[in-house]
């Protein structure tokens, strides 16, 4: 099977799960559960892998479950899931309290959202005094919004008002319905915004602001106990995941995923950016170092074996 760069990450996640989930010399675990914290492109990786049949081909029974928001770390702690895709912002506070939680891979090293505004707002000055819609107070969306607003020469605390709508899925709806004047978006909502004539004020990807986002997480104890544990088709699966058959929206999501690194090691400097963000809320996070939250062992073994290079057709 020919695998292009964006599809290769799906096989990579399969390989990490497969190598950890299958215990050497012991029967296969009956079922592996993988959670995802948001309906976002990178979070769809385990869903795409399952729907494409890759887990089944490897003899792994996988259940993919939505573990929204702050619930995500607790599902790992309780053992309700063995793996989870969540932001480092969600993982780190829980990992400080429950040292069993760990990051195996990082899919987004840089902030990659867009600050999008209504058609009548074409620059930062037009945004003064207006309402910016966000998810929850103090989260990664707000952190990224503040970076974008400062890039436009605005003071986030004085020049705009924040309205918290509770979910990233509601942010586009709030913008489209005139409830807010601007918000932070990712695909496929970016396409809907573009078609509606919204203005894209800031592309955070272009600013190269380090901030560890979506990550593959697990429990250290599970890793220790289990040491060995195609584009058109992907479109069909993404359509089911996002609840849309809009071809352009799926293309937008597919292209957005191209920013996922070929070897998704969690970046210590990007994790440090998240720690610094958390310090703004509680100084106690300042005593922790990025290496405390990262275990690159499974990914490193795959890398050393040459398997990752074969996915991309390199040696």
CATH number, domain containing residue 229 = 3.40.190.10
DSSP code per residue over 149-179: HHHTT--TTTT-EEEE-S-HHHHHHHHHTTS
pLDDT at 23: 45
Q: Quote the CA–CA distance of 201 and 227 in Å, as a whole number.
A: 47
DSSP element (H, E) containing 192: helix 189-195
What is the number of domains present in the chain?
2
- β-strands 32-36, 101-106 pairing: unpaired
What tokens appear for 287 in the block?
């005593």
| Domain boundary pick from 207, 225, 256 | 207
| Domain boundary pick from 187, 207, 227 | 207
Q: Are residues 71 and 140 both part of a single domain?
A: no
Q: Are residues 149 and 189 both part of a single domain?
A: yes
The answer for 160, left when phi > 0, alpha when psi is -120 to 50, beta otherwise, is beta
Q: Are residues 225 and 192 both part of a single domain?
A: no
Q: Are residues 47 and 184 both part of a single domain?
A: no
pLDDT at 237: 46
Q: Are residues 104 and 222 both part of a single domain?
A: yes
Strand partners, 66: 36
Q: Are residues 56 and 198 both part of a single domain?
A: no
pLDDT at 144: 93
Q: Are residues 140 and 100 both part of a single domain?
A: no
Q: Are residues 120 and 195 both part of a single domain?
A: yes
Check if the beta carbon of residue 1 is closer than 8 Å to that of residue 51. Answer: no
Q: Are residues 85 and 9 both part of a single domain?
A: yes
pLDDT at 123: 96
Check if the beta carbon of residue 297 is closer than 8 Å to that of residue 108. Answer: no
Q: Are residues 136 and 253 both part of a single domain?
A: no
Angle 121-122-123 from CA coordinates, rounded to 5°: 105
Q: Are residues 68 and 96 both part of a single domain?
A: yes
pLDDT < 70 stretches in the chain = 1-30, 41, 58-59, 226-245, 249-262, 302, 307-315
Q: Is 315 exposed, middle or buried (0-12, 13-18, 19+ CB in 10 A)?
A: exposed
DSSP element (H, E) containing 98: none
- Domain with 94, as residue range(s), is 5-110+211-311
| Domain boundary pick from 207, 230, 260 | 207
Q: Are residues 222 and 294 both part of a single domain?
A: yes
């Amino acid at each position: 099977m020919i695998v292009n760069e964006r599809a290769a990450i799906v096989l990579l996640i399969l390989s990490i799960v497969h190598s950890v989930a299958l215990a050497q010399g012991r029967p296969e675990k009956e079922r592996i559960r993988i959670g995802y914290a948001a309906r976002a492109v990178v979070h769809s990786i385990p869903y795409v892998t399952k729907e494409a049949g890759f887990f089944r081909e490897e003899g792994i029974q996988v259940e993919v479950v939505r573990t929204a928001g702050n619930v995500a770390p607790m599902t790992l702690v309780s053992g309700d899931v063995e793996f989870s895709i969540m932001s480092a912002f969600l993982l780190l506070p829980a990992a400080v309290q429950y040292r069993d939680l760990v990051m195996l891979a990082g899919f987004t090293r840089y902030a990659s959202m867009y600050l999008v505004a209504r058609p009548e707002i074409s620059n930062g000055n037009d945004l003064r005094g207006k309402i910016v819609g966000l998810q929850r107070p103090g989260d990664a969306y707000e952190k990224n919004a503040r970076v974008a607003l400062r890039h436009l020469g605005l003071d986030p605390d004085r020049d705009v008002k924040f309205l918290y709508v509770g979910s990233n899925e509601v942010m586009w709806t709030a913008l489209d319905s005139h409830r807010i004047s601007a918000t932070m978006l990712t695909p496929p909502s970016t396409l809907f915004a573009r078609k509606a004539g919204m203005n894209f004020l800031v592309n955070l990807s272009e600013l190269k602001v380090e901030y560890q986002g979506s990550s593959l997480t697990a429990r250290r104890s599970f890793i220790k106990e289990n040491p060995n544990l195609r584009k058109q088709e992907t479109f069909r699966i993404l359509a089911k995941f996002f609840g849309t058959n809009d071809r352009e929206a799926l293309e937008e999501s597919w292209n957005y995923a191209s920013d996922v690194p070929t070897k998704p090691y969690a970046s210590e400097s990007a994790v440090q950016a998240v720690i610094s963000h958390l310090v703004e809320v509680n100084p106690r996070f300042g005593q922790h170092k990025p290496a405390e939250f990262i275990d690159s062992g499974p990914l490193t073994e795959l890398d050393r074996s040459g398997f990752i290079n074969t996915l991309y057709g390199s040696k």
